[in-house]
Structure 1
Amino acid sequence: MVKERVLITGGAGFIGSHLCDRFLREGFQVVAMDNLITGDLRNIEHLFKHPDFEFYNHDVSTFVHVPGDLKYILHFASPASPIDYLKIPIQTLKVGSLGTHNLLGLARAKRARILVASTSEVYGDPLVHPQMEEYYGNVNPIGPRGVYDEAKRFQEAMTMAYHTYHNVETRIVRIFNTYGPRMRLNDGRVLPAFIGQALRGEDLTVFGDGSQTRSFCYIDDQVEGIFRLLMSDYALPVNIGNPDEITIWEFAEEIVKLTGTSQKIICKPLPKDDPKQRRPDISKAKSLLGWEPKVSRSEGLKITYEYFKSLPQDVLYTREHKNFDKYVR
């Protein structure tokens, strides 16, 4: 029996690498594609000897060619942290526009179903709480975050256009804050930033007064939601995230308790357009997919902390940007 093939772009990234693992367990042949700007081969090196795994070092913003049949395409190629998309804004815009266009064209040519990874950032600094899929968002298109937010909003529009006018089978997942092993320790997102600071014996940096909120979904739950959405018959966007909301200050206190650090929690000015609230309405995911998160934050944080503690010292003390502390998380 010939196994079905799936293409996962951004396959060496955090979520992409976990998706590679999942589809191999499900019995698929997996083609991972990544230009390694933010991805890391260490995330998938355990798969290189797997007979059903292939890797292409390639930038999907140029063109995409994959020989042979494809059953599914999952488009996860994009910088996702503030440090990355503020450092490489043009590449971020191109992968959300040109890259998405190329992959939708490939899906049409291969008659493959394609799932594109959107984000809660399409809601911007929301005026509706919690955020439901019907909310159009409050986004500043020319602000510092606009290169990421608008790339994702365009990506959704392009995906729906291909669905409507070319009858391509499309799925759109709006991903809320996700965490777990294989996150980059110093990529500027709140959880690895806090844990990294605790491990280095630094004060934990909170932006603003810490009253802004986030909702954190463990990677296993996220991958399960993505998989179910791909296999569903629903073409409109679906939120996948954990609705267990917490303030950034409270979250910092949880990390202090988890890591046993004696360092202080300090405040710095809130960056421009930082979302004040972030919590998904997952009613659609529950009703359409039978999905809701299973892993508690305390359980997921313990696993993630053990992963970060196991990293080499050179990773722990590497700053990935000279202005690391100024960026929003």
Structure 2
Amino acid sequence: MSGVFANGLEISGKAVNAQTIAAFPDTCFTPPENPATPPGVPVPYPSFGMASDTENGTGTVFICGKTVNIKNKSDVSRTSGTEAGCAAKKGIITSKNTGKKYFTSWSNDVKFDGEPVIRFSDLATHNHASPGGQTPPFPEICAANQAFADCVTLLNKLEMQLHEHGKSPCKHPDQSEHPLENQMMQKSRGGTNYAAFPGYHVDKAPCICMRSFNLNPDGSPKSGAGSMKGAPHPMKSKANRDLLKKSPKPTVREALDETKQAYGDHHDKLQPPTSEEEKKAALECIEVVIVTYLQSVAKPKQNADGSTSQPSTQDVLNTQLRN
């Protein structure tokens, strides 16, 4: 971890333990190649890109003596995870496997060498042969530990892919769902943030898809009056709002406990046949993801030596919301 931040988010570069973890799906043709499947079998793979493979970064401004990722110049020379997709055609779109990674979002106002820097949670696409990539945009994770990597992989497996709220991949009857109610973070939606998390943004916060409408016997979504009543997403939102009625200023710990309970009770992907072991792990993963994000957007704390730093995990969990 470099400890160098832009807009409250750690900057990505060759010296930083940053990566795009399990961007999915990266579909590549995979052997066998035979008359039944001439180009091979199309298999969706998770794709990984490491900031340590940065090329074409900054030339005058460095972090820990190494180049930094910036808009319109930087790329990551290779990705991994798709090596088995090695039939002649390889990638279904780009005809590549292990192709380059390019960034698609960045800071609006912090620039190195005259170009905006890439930060924690900025998006990237993978397995390029040319400007078009082969994966959906997926966030850059800085200072990621193995627990975070394992979490993203598990949530992808359960089809609970993380995304920015403003770039939701959710399809009807699902909607993009903030694990913590937005009113816990902002005085009004898209308005002023509460003081503890000044970098929070409703459209950039991590979300997962959750079913918002009840289903007919044939599996199609209901419509009209009452079609959302008692559906998973509204029930999870109700649990958060009930908590705020009982405790208007809960700690992050209290809010996360309520959220995890509501997800466990109501999220379709966490019901059988998902095992209890995977369900428990997924709920812990949601906590890891949210706390990691909140650390990145939290108000820096003042240290005894006069320096500032981002709060620890425990600091975040103990923070009182809506203050």
Relative to the length of structure 1, the TM-score reads 0.29
Relative to the length of structure 2, the TM-score reads 0.29
Structure number with the bigger relative contact order (C-alpha 8 A, sep ≥ 6) is: 1
Larger Cα-atom Rg: 2
